Chain A
Amino acid sequence: MDKSLFQAKAAQNSSVYAGLQALVADEFENSRVSIRQMLQGLGIQHVDQTSSGKGVVDACRARKYDIVLCDFRLTGGKNGQQVLEELRTLQLLKPTNIFIIVSAETGRDVVMGIMESQPDEYLSKPFTQAVLARRLERQFVQTKALSTMKTLIAKEKFDQLIPLCVKHIEENGRYATWCKRNLVDAYLNAGASQELEHLCKTEIKQREVDWALLGLARLAMAQEQFPKAVSVLQKTIQQFPQTISAYDLLAQAYEAMGRLEEAQEILNDAIKISPRIHKRQKHMAAVSLANGDPQTALKASQQTVRLGINSVHESPDDYIQLVDIVAESAANVENSTDKKRLLAEAGQALSVVTKRFGNDDSVKLRKSLAESRFHASQGQMREAQQSLQVAKQIASELEGGLPQDLVVEYGKTLYSAGEKEQAETILASLVNDQATSDALKQQASDFLDEPISLGAKAQAKSLNKQGLNHYSNKAYQDAIHEFKTALELSPRHPGLNLNYVQTCLKLMEAQGSESHMVAECVESIQRLRHVTPAHKQYKRLNALKEYLVKHYKVMF
């Protein structure tokens, strides 16, 4: 094919372009004008323009544009990526509309973020009219060929989509790879595991490609075969270090296996490549918090809030998470100016929650609870009580009472405000309720196990680790010392208490019974009254208890 041919092709299309409607968005007027003229030069008569993200959303609400050419940089806070995500969430884009992000950016983090939002086309500045014409034409040809399939995807009619994709692939159609990628989603949605596995493995035999490896990993995740998912994902990342969704998925797999430190490491890698993704930063904040790493959690939570502003991803969770993390980490900040700034940030987050989501009663409730926890963490017990009373008032007026998913948050707040018994009662009844979801049960039981600050948790965890080291080296005295110090920080932790008991028993087995040690073992067991039959340490607790009863004549 020679060059004059494709020019002729572009010219033919001017009649096709005539009836189309286009929107151009760019922060700079001269840029808008030039792109608009380029489009008009191609025969598109109706070209609107706007400078802001809000302008794009409003315009798309008022009119269906066939083409949106949107720069990454816009006025008014929202960027092009956020606009695209919002248009999709609000379903203001038809599957056959073409959304092109235009940008002069070079920074890898920005470009990666744009790519993750999957615009139909990414056009890097500068470009000539001829280049724009080529890209548009290509999009039209593709959209025309795939419009039925794209519509089925938008309507989530996978059973109808699957045969169409399969047919296109069998006929060696031009968009066979596009079809294969979309088949992965369709098969996953339809639960067609065998077909999915066959599709991916056949492809991998020819060439290792990211989507096929990811397909196998997603299947393993769906089947809860986490070790398998981990090994496929590790391979994916090794071969295709830019496949960012593999990192997110791997972190999820590690998390499901309880390997939180590895989950944090992999999220850290992902953030290095593409930091400007709300859900990734939020995930990082949660994982690092669970790992007892308030510094990382704070940074990730601050980013979450920042990325949420002007975006559809913004949620009251982001702000409440930040308040809780500040409450946890402020104690470790030595510099008084920094500390003041941090506390002010939490105050700011609380007022934004009210401003942005104040019409929602459950959000109001959560805000008062967070406020109470925050005051309690700073030793302001009177203020903590006041906020708690406000929360109780709101809760009592809620239709249907306190929503179940807020019980843990409520219990934690009661505990921090000093109402410990009530907190335990409410959390224990949640754990024992058949209707509670496993995730909530776990959260409640984790809190009952260790209702202490993150810093103390992390310290106790490391002492426990050292104790276990001593134990495996049969240095029981040293182990007992570490466990005991850890128990001072975290007295209710089942694993820790049982490690202590078990080590004492080992030592006494070798050196004979000691009454003070027996007494301390009994105390440890008694501290674990909150451990119910559903708890993963319950069996071990019972075994050690029986051993004490049998060999040391104690009563419970």
Chain B
Amino acid sequence: MSFQPQLPFQEVIEASIKDMRNSLSQVLFKLDSAIANTDGVDRNMFAEAQYEIVRMQNVISQMYGLYLVNDDKLVVSASETFVLELVEDTLAGLDALLQQKGIEVTVQGEDISWYLDSQLMETVLQIALLNALRYTNNKIDIQFQATSDGLLLSVIDNGRGYPEFILEAYDALVSGSSVDNVTSQNTGWLYCDKVVRLHTNQGRFGRTTLKNDDTTGGGRIDMLIP
């Protein structure tokens, strides 16, 4: 028996996401206050829980974004954004975790502004940072600078670096081959690349590259926004 869809699915997703975000908001707050008010308990555990919440929040944004991308409905709404503020905002969300894990984050860049969609780019940066967090030894470096091709934003860790087959898979992913093996890692990267690519200026498109850093030997993602 065939049946008419009873609900507009996009709105179902949107309503559900609203609920999830409200709930996460509460969980995040309760954790925040628990960390602040509790002495002598396993703070590591709280930080881990907070990390999971940030991850979930990130995955929700990603899922909705990719849903829109698939329907060709994701639109970049660029406005002038101070890059340092964007970076600091993203880091602020991961604050407790970074402290807890003892990961040193350095930010290198001038106080420049750029035309970009700050909401979408915050999710992108978050994905890049969450990845770096997973693989880093103890340092993450965020660099940005204005180049003649656009704003170059890089997230570099000092872990062991990506194996060749992952780098190849990334290149295949961004060159548009269909994704057979859907994992949270490649959907995250796909999201980053799509969002960056949707940023355009005078006929030029944004692009991303994943490689291993010459200096640290760890993973490095470059995002170029025209």
Contact = CB atoms under 8 A, between A and B. Distances in A.
Nearest to B56: A126
Interface stretch (A31-39, A402-410, A476-484, A544-552): A31-39
Interface string A124-138: 111111110111001
A18 interface: no
Nearest to B22: A104
Taking residues whose C-beta sits less than 8 angstroms from the other chain, chain A's interface range is 35 or more
Contacts of A514: none
- B contact patch SS: helix
B28 interface: yes
B98 A3 contact: yes
B52 interface: no
A126 B89 CA distance: 13
A174 B32 CA distance: 33
Interface size for chain B: under 10, 10 to 19, 20 to 34, or 35 or more residues?
35 or more
Interface in B19-62: 19, 21-22, 24-30, 32-33, 36, 53, 57
A41 B92 CA distance: 16
Contact of B119 (A38, A124, A129, A209): A124
A138 B82 CA distance: 11
Contacts of B53: 126
Nearest to B75: A242
Contacts of B78: 240
Interface string A161-187: 000000000000010010000000000
Contacts of A242: 75-77
A131 B28 contact: no
A538 interface: no
A128 B202 contact: no
Most interface-central of A37, A126, A134, A209 (chain B CB within 10 A) = A126
B29 A34 contact: yes
Interface in A91-117: 104-108, 115
Interface string B69-107: 000010111101010110011011101101000000111
Interface string A231-247: 00000000011100000
Interface stretch (B10-18, B169-177, B211-219): B10-18
A30 interface: yes
Contacts of B64: 106
Contacts of A34: 25-26, 29-30
7 contacts: A2-B105, A31-B22, A34-B25, A34-B30, A106-B21, A128-B32, A242-B75
Nearest first, the 3 A-B pairs at minimum CB distance are A126-B25, A104-B21, A34-B29
